[in-house]
């Protein structure tokens, strides 16, 4: 990226009220993490309502849950696990960012 473009970016960021690109990046990252937390939580809640249980119980009762096809349960299980893992990661990143921690 050329210096001219960098200058335009820095000037635009300052015009938006940010002192520098790092402050801008932090604010934008917080917004993105909060949105991702909301999105992953919605998926988790939807699946908890669908199966009327938490993921841990779903895993224990996977084969006893007869109201849904095996393929549907496998797909939901994968979505549930992935969204649960991302939810935890996003929450940790957001908390660390807000508290000024590196990890």
* The pLDDT of residue 103 is above 60: no
What does the pLDDT read at residue 65?
85
Q: How far is CA 9 from CA 2, 15, 25, in A?
A: 11, 10, 12
Whether 66 has a pLDDT exceeding 90, the answer reads: no
Residues 1-13, buried b or exposed e (16+ Cβ, 10 A)? eeeeeeeeeeeeb
Taking only the tens place, the pLDDT of each residue in 74-102 is 999 999 999 999 999 999 999 999 998 65
At residue 46, does pLDDT exceed 80?
Answer: yes
């Amino acid at each position: 990226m050329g210096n001219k473009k960098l200058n335009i970016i820095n000037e635009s960021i300052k015009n938006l009220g940010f002192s520098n690109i790092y402050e801008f990046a932090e604010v934008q990252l917080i917004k993105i993490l909060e949105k991702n937390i909301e999105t992953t939580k919605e998926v988790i809640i939807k699946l908890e309502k669908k199966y009327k249980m938490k993921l841990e119980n779903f895993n224990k009762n996977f084969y006893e849950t007869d109201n849904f096809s095996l393929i549907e349960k496998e797909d939901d299980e994968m979505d549930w696990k992935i969204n649960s893992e991302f939810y935890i990661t996003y929450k940790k990143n957001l908390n660390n960012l807000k508290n000024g921690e590196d990890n």
